[in-house]
Structure 1
Amino acid sequence: MNDSPWAAEPVAAGPAYDALVGPQTRPMSIVPDAAGRDFDDREARDRGAAAFGGPPFRAETPPQEPMPSPPPPPSQVPQDASPPPQKKRAGRDLRAAIGVGVGLGAVIFASLFIVKAVFVGVIVVAVVVGLWELTSRLQEKKGIKAPLVPLAVGGAAMVIAGYVRGAEGAWVAMALTALAVLVWRMTEAPEDYLKDVTAGVFAAFYVPFLATFVAMLLTADDGPQRVVTFLVLTVVSDTGAYAVGWRFGKTKLAPRISPGKTREGLFGAVAFAMAAGALCMEFLIDGGSWWQGLLLGLAVAVSATLGDLGESMIKRDLGIKDMGTLLPGHGGIMDRLDSLLPTAPVVWLLLAAFVGTG
């Protein structure tokens, strides 16, 4: 017995009922819904909803969102829809770099052609600042305490001795500087002694000893012209490598050391340096010849590239981008000396072989 208050007499068949559900070939079961109302089975409900003009289960089936239209084929995409190609950009502030470079060039050339001793002072200042940057980064990143005081004093003495007494004076000053580093470090605890003095001797050789060859270039009668040749070839080599590598560079030269350098850039450095070397040897160096300038330019391009890679190796080991921030657009002093330092003995040696040291 049905106790539901909604129970009612069975609906009698009649014209209205027939119009609603249509003729049946089998008896229809009465199924109460959740609210207690009597509905016929699913088939009857479907036909009843359709009779009133609506789809079956309108309330139970949510409306479907329209399917997105497929994208047009590539042939119908307008040409201007593709993103514009990205231009290559330099990694540094070129305006600041050019301004600092012009300022340094003015100081160097003024000191070269006015009083030679003033240029020796410029070398000493660059050496001391470079040693400070190098030893500071070693201590910050590796905990290596290379003694700065004996390095700075010995480095300055090394440059002056090279200018006054030549190669012999430079070697003696180098030996005394290394000895001073060993003794100075003895005043502290013995832990890491070998590591610290090894770094100190390396710094003495890498910065002041190599820079001494620039002072030795200045001692010749045409010393200012030799220094200018050395600086011009190194700068032109770096500029040629940058310009050609930026425009045409595709093949990496040493991706594990310096990912920005390419073989195409190296070819540009060689071409630019050889052309500049021929001009400098022909018009600046007494007794020089253009073919000697070609050889000199080739050697400078190789040594400058190796010097740049060498400092990049040091910076990668230390986990830094620049040795310092003293020069806007350039980094630190050591970031500008990287290609100059190993190039100085190469230029001094080749000029001595080609035209002598007088």
Structure 2
Amino acid sequence: MDISPHKQRIATSAVLAILPTLALIFQGWVLFAVLALFSVLTLWEFYSMFRPGQSMTAFKSLGAAVTFLLMGAYTTGDARYPGVILALAFWASALVFLLRYNRDVATSYRHAAIFLAGLFYIPMNFHFLLFFDRLELLLVLGAAVISDTAAFYVGTWLGKRKIWPRISPKKSWAGSIGGLTACMAATFAWGLAFGLPETVWWKWLLLGAALNVAAQLGDFFESALKRSLDIKDSGTILPGHGGLLDRVDSLLLVIPCYGLISMFQPYFP
């Protein structure tokens, strides 16, 4: 029996929600394992986008090792740890570039840059989730999911004028406004229910707006990246969605956006 792409999308989303749900319930090592798994698989997709059809075993294995080390920052309690790991990753890639200098300068430099970009883009952003409490995790994940879902349906029903067709032909102003409105409403409701009582109501609306803008920019960035590489999806692992990166692209910018805002304006007890 043939299943429509839309039904595939809904079914995949439901299955994909199982692991984050378990992580939110149990947290601790379960959250660590889920984030590490998501980070490694998404990082492999990212690297494969630049070198399609190649196994890149050593490249991906080193990226996976650095990912687990970055996730380990949570267990050390030392704020310097992620910076040290990324600095060492930089020098590891620089050493590879140096050793291959006489053979293919342009290619080895490009590979080193791709390796580092993947680490900053995916595991570095994901690892911040380990430092959020349950209310913050639900807020961040919810903001990304609600922004994407509302934008998709409102854009499908009402979208005519496109925002940036050269990068993302399907994204419309109606979808963008729908996602913004839904995210602000959800953040506002979440804040009234669980936030600090002294936090004034308009700060929750501003937080929702900021997280939605971050979600949309994260989505546009991945779309631009795929267009520059002339590919449609980051992978094929998720029926109806494409790759893992296609599902978490908006979340990857929402995470540091919330982290930065919460440093200056606490929202939860």
The TM-score normalised by the length of structure 2 is: 0.88
Contact 2:151 2:175 in 1 (8 A): yes
Contact 1:257 1:312 in 2 (8 A): yes
1:277 to 1:163, Cα distance in 2 relative to 1, 3 A = farther
2:126 to 211, 227, 245: 211
**CA-atom RMSD in angstroms:** 2.6
Partner amino acid for 1:355?
P
Counterpart residue number, 1:280: 190
Counterpart residue number, 1:310: 221
Separation in 2 of the partners of 1:254 and 1:134?
23
1:101 to 1:108, Cα distance in 2 relative to 1, 3 A = same
Separation in 2 of the partners of 1:146 and 1:261?
37
Percent identity between the two aligned chains: 31
- Asked whether 1:225 is paired with 2:225, we answer no
- Asked whether 1:193 is paired with 2:104, we answer no
* Structure 1 position 111, deviation (Å): 2.0
Separation in 2 of the partners of 1:141 and 1:260?
28
Q: Which runs of 5+ in 1 are unaligned?
A: 1-91, 218-222
Count of matched residue pairs: 262
Separation in 2 of the partners of 1:346 and 1:290?
19
Separation in 1 of the partners of 2:61 and 2:234?
19
Separation in 1 of the partners of 2:126 and 2:78?
13
1:245 to 155, 159, 167: 155
Contact 1:308 1:339 in 2 (8 A): yes
Counterpart residue number, 2:89: 177
Counterpart residue number, 1:113: 25
* Structure 1 position 243, deviation (Å): 1.6
Counterpart residue number, 1:324: 235
Separation in 1 of the partners of 2:78 and 2:254?
18
Q: Map of 1:161-172 to 2, 5 A cutoff?
A: 161-162=73-74, 164-165=76-77, 167-172=79-84
SS in structure 1 at match of 2:171: strand
Separation in 2 of the partners of 1:297 and 1:212?
22
* Structure 1 position 141, deviation (Å): 7.8
- Bigger drift between 251-260 and 150-159 goes to 150-159
SS in structure 2 at match of 1:258: coil
2:171 to 254, 261, 270: 261
2:12 to 78, 100, 107: 100
Using CA pairs below 8 Å that are at least 6 residues apart, which structure has the higher relative contact order? 2
Contact 1:240 1:272 in 2 (8 A): yes
- Asked whether 1:122 is paired with 2:34, we answer yes
Per-residue CA deviations over 1:2-49 (Å, capped at 9, x if unaligned) read xxxxxxxxxxxxxxxxxxxxxxxxxxxxxxxxxxxxxxxxxxxxxxxx
Partner amino acid for 1:243?
Y
Counterpart residue number, 1:346: 257
- Bigger drift between 94-103 and 199-208 goes to 94-103
Separation in 1 of the partners of 2:186 and 2:238?
26
Contact 1:158 1:212 in 2 (8 A): yes
Per-residue CA deviations over 1:125-156 (Å, capped at 9, x if unaligned) read 111111111111211289x9992222211122
Separation in 2 of the partners of 1:326 and 1:239?
20
Contact 2:194 2:268 in 1 (8 A): no
Contact 1:324 1:332 in 2 (8 A): yes
* Structure 1 position 345, deviation (Å): 0.4
Structure with the bigger percentage of helix:
2
User: Where does structure 1 differ by over 4 angstroms across 4 or more consecutive aligned residues?
Assistant: 184-189, 286-289
* Structure 1 position 272, deviation (Å): 0.5
Separation in 2 of the partners of 1:237 and 1:183?
42
Separation in 1 of the partners of 2:138 and 2:80?
24
Contact 2:94 2:112 in 1 (8 A): yes
* Structure 1 position 348, deviation (Å): 1.5
* Structure 1 position 187, deviation (Å): 5.7
Separation in 2 of the partners of 1:162 and 1:169?
9
Q: Give the greater-gyration-radius structure (CA).
A: 1
1:148 to 38, 60, 74: 60
* Structure 1 position 166, deviation (Å): 6.2
* Structure 1 position 184, deviation (Å): 4.5
1:301 to 1:292, Cα distance in 2 relative to 1, 3 A = same
1:277 to 1:311, Cα distance in 2 relative to 1, 3 A = same
Q: Which runs of 5+ in 2 are unaligned?
A: none
Separation in 2 of the partners of 1:101 and 1:293?
27
